[in-house]
Amino acid sequence: MKSRAALHEASWLMYHKGTAHVPGGPNWPGAGKVENFSINIDAEIDFFLTQAMASAEVVAEAVPLVANTKDNGYNSSQNPYFNMFGDQDMNKYSEVLLWRRYDPTLGINHNVNHYINQNGGNTGYTRGYVENFLMANGLPIYAAGSGYKGDDSISTVKEGRDNRLQLFMKAPGDLRYTDRTNTNGTLILEGKPDIIGLVETRYVTGYAVKKGFSYLWANSQGSMGSTGSIVFRAVEAYLNYIEASYLKEKTLNSKATKYWRAIRERAGVNPDFNITIAATNINEEAKNDFAAYSAGKLLTDMTLYNIRRERRSEFIAEGMRYTDLKRWRAMDQLKTTPYIIEGFKLWGPMQEWYKDPTKGTSLLIEAGTPGKTANVSKKSSSLYLRPYQVNLTATNLVRDGYRWAFAHYLEPIPIKEFLLTSQNNDLSTSVIYQNPGWPTVVNSGATE
């Protein structure tokens, strides 16, 4: 926890330095509110990086990573690394340092497995996320000699890739249960992603989440789920140390090198990260990854970029990404250049999956088709499914892509807090101050 907090603070100060989001910066709203204020931002950054390294090292040196059998994800029921995320009892995994137990008999349920095993759960990985994963040989998919098989099917997308992609993304034909079969005794297998079904169960992008999946029928029934939920696992300490030490020392020391190799070896990726660094083209990465940027500018340090990539690949579907992007100040570019979310390559061979079984006609209705309710995006817009361009009406605020407001790097402080700390409900007398870009007017949006 200490390494996470210290790294967050250090990197926030580093990348937001010179803005209102850092104390003492231009237009900082705390000016005049804090008595005898003074600060040395560079000294603060160094202090927190040092703390992040020291606390991360304590964990990383003491706790080994859980083993990965490196199967292809078809049936990972005997793989400790895969099972660690979908088990009911996480005490058996040394890497899990803190977790939450669920007990349906007490009315405390965790239904993640129900949604990702039985359907798409109204979620999915983006094309950008999937394409950012390395090949097992350590090369990006665009690099010469990578061996990438293309994306005409989900299976070929996963072939020869970082084992984390193979394990944690579903593909048609994957086994679903080890304790249940069809009535005729055959195995129950994953079908083709239902991208046109009910909103609450559909596969939004076609690339389906499998992290947290359990092969046990009993763990995936309705609202009675008991899958545990990880709060801290030791690999985060490894990654925190790598990033903090590199930001502080501008080089990879022996411990950072050891930790990074251990992560890649467990992930089924060539442990020689220098091969990846040498083959990285930041202009290609920028097509798929906001973390190719900080403060609206492309990174020029490919080692730093690949440290960020490693976090993205390791923490897939664990809720870490948004916080990382904010502390890296990695979304400034969206202010002027919107980003359109894409999923799998629908308008290729996989479009044949969506035909009426009796008539043989396509079930896909493109956006803008006169007199019909669309269920997929236009082929003419992109060969890849664009889930937020199915609805092309003006009420769809992201039909032309996601944008960003600088104020959103921080959340607004509720007006109630100002009232509680003011005199006679006069907000100007409050001892606290609003975060940059947010007003002190009820029901108002960001101003920048």
DSSP string, 287-343: TT-GGGEETTEE---HHHHHHHHHHHHHTTTTT-HHHHHHHTT--GGGGTS-B----
In a domain, 380, yes or no: yes
Q: Is residue 18 part of a domain?
A: yes
Question: In CATH, what number is assigned to the domain containing residue 49?
Answer: 1.25.40
- 105 occurs within a structural domain: no
Return contacts of 345-348, CB within 8 angstroms, 24+ apart.
Answer: 345/151, 345/152, 345/383, 345/384, 345/385, 346/195, 346/206, 346/376, 346/377, 346/383, 346/384, 346/385, 347/379, 347/382, 347/383, 347/384, 348/151, 348/152, 348/383
Tell whether 104 is covered by a domain: no
Which of the listed residues 356, 376, 397 is the one where a domain comes to its end? 397
The pLDDT value recorded for residue 35 is 85
Mean pLDDT of the chain: 95
Measured in degrees and rounded to the nearest 5, phi and psi for residue 230 equal -80, 135
Domain range for 358: 340-397
Q: How confident is the model at residue 115 (pLDDT cuts 50, 70, 90)?
A: confident
**Claim to verify: residue 39 and residue 53 sit in the same structural domain:** yes
SS3 417: helix
Residue bearing tokens 């983006």: 126
Query: Would 27 be classed as within a structural domain?
Result: yes
Are the CB atoms for 144 and 150 separated by under 8 Å? no
- In a shared domain, residues 358 and 271: no
Instruction: Answer whether residue 331 is part of any domain.
Output: yes
CB 320 within 8 A of CB 300: no
Do 367 and 331 share a structural domain?
Answer: no
263 and 330 belong to one structural domain: yes
Residues in contact with 138: Cβ distance below 8 Å, sequence separation at least 6, in sequence order = 264, 269, 270, 272, 273, 275, 276, 279
Count of helix runs (H) and strand runs (E) in the chain: 14, 4
Shared domain check, 328 and 238: yes
Q: Please give the Cα distance from 373 to 64 (Å, whole number).
A: 53
Q: Is residue 425 part of a domain?
A: yes
In this structure, the answer to whether residues 270 and 362 fall within a common structural domain is no
Domain count, the chain: 3
pTM exceeds 0.85 for this model: yes
Helix crossing, 235-249 with 41-62: angle to 10°?
140
Q: Is residue 149 part of a domain?
A: no
Do 250 and 320 lie in one domain? The reply is yes
Burial group, residue 89, by CB count within 10 angstroms (0-12, 13-18, 19+): exposed
Do 241 and 264 reside in the same domain of the chain? Answer: yes
Q: What are the tens digits of pLDDT across the range 15-45? A: 999 999 999 999 999 998 888 999 999 999 9
Q: pLDDT tens-digit profile of 56-85?
A: 999 999 999 999 999 999 999 999 999 999
Residues 268 and 328 in one domain: yes
Instruction: Specify whether 378 is located in the same domain as 410.
Output: no
Whether residue 331 sits in one domain with residue 279: yes
Same domain membership, residue 329 and residue 261: yes
Residue position matching structure tokens 């895969």: 82
pLDDT digits (tens, 9 = 90+) for 303-316: 999 999 999 999 99
